[in-house]
Structure 1
Amino acid sequence: MSTTLQIDNRTITAEELVSLLTHYQIIPQVICESIIDRAIATIECTPEETAAACAEFSQQRQLASDTELQTWLWHYGLDQTQVERLATRRLRIDKFKQQMWGHRLESYFLKRKDQLDQIIYSVIQVENRDMASELFFRIHEGEQSFAEVARLYSQGPVGGVIGPIEFGKLPVGLREFLYTRPIGEVQPPVAFGESQIIVRVERVIPATLDETMRERLLQEQFAAWFDAQVEQLPDPDKIWMGASRN
Structure 2
Amino acid sequence: MTTPSTPDFSPVLRIGPQELATTDVVPLLRRYGLLPALVKELVIDQATAAVALTPEQATQAVDQFLQLNQITSPEQRQNFLNQRGLSEADLAFLGERAQKLQQYKLDTWGPKVESYFLQRKSHLDRVLYSLIRTREAGLAQELFFRIQDDGQPFADLARQYSEGQEAQTGGLIGPVELSVPHPALSRILTISQPGQLWPPTRVGEWFVVVRLEKFLPARLDDATRQRLTDELFNTWLLEQVQTALNDNASAETE
What's the TM-score once normalised by structure 2's chain length? 0.75
Q: Residues 183 and 55 from structure 1, CA distance in 2 versus in 1: closer, same or farther, beyond 3 angstroms?
A: closer
Give ranges in structure 2 of 5+ residues lacking alignment: 1-10
Paired position in structure 2 for 1:202: 213
Which sits farther off after the overlay, 20-29 or 179-188?
20-29
Paired position in structure 1 for 2:8: none
1:27-176 paired onto structure 2 within 5 Å? 27-55=35-63, 60=71, 62-63=73-74, 80=89, 84-142=92-150, 144-156=152-164, 157-158=166-167, 159-176=170-187
Paired position in structure 2 for 1:244: none
SS of the residue corresponding to residue 187 of structure 1 reads strand
Distance 2:204 2:192 in 1: 19
Cα RMSD (Å) of the superposition? 3.5
Alpha-carbon deviation of 1:5? 8.7
Paired position in structure 2 for 1:243: none
Distance 2:162 2:129 in 1: 14
The residue type paired with residue 45 of structure 1 is L
Alpha-carbon deviation of 1:78? 5.6
The residue type paired with residue 148 of structure 1 is D
Q: Residues 143 and 102 from structure 1, CA distance in 2 versus in 1: closer, same or farther, beyond 3 angstroms?
A: closer
Alpha-carbon deviation of 1:218? 0.7
Alignment partner of 1:221 is 2:228: no
The residue type paired with residue 147 of structure 1 is A
The residue type paired with residue 28 of structure 1 is P
Alpha-carbon deviation of 1:152? 1.5
Paired position in structure 1 for 2:6: none
Candidates 2, 20, 25, aligned match of 1:18: 25
The residue type paired with residue 198 of structure 1 is V
Alpha-carbon deviation of 1:29? 2.2
Q: Report the identity percentage.
A: 34
Give ranges in structure 1 of 5+ residues lacking alignment: 240-246
Q: Residues 13 and 233 from structure 1, CA distance in 2 versus in 1: closer, same or farther, beyond 3 angstroms?
A: same
Distance 2:129 2:112 in 1: 33
SS of the residue corresponding to residue 183 of structure 1 reads coil
Decide whether the 8 Å contact of 2:14 with 2:20 is kept in 1. Answer: no
What's the TM-score once normalised by structure 1's chain length? 0.77
The residue type paired with residue 91 of structure 1 is Q
Distance 1:183 1:57 in 2: 44
Distance 2:149 2:66 in 1: 68
**Number of equivalent positions:** 228
The residue type paired with residue 146 of structure 1 is F
Point out 4+ residue stretches in structure 1 off by more than 6 angstroms: 3-7, 10-14
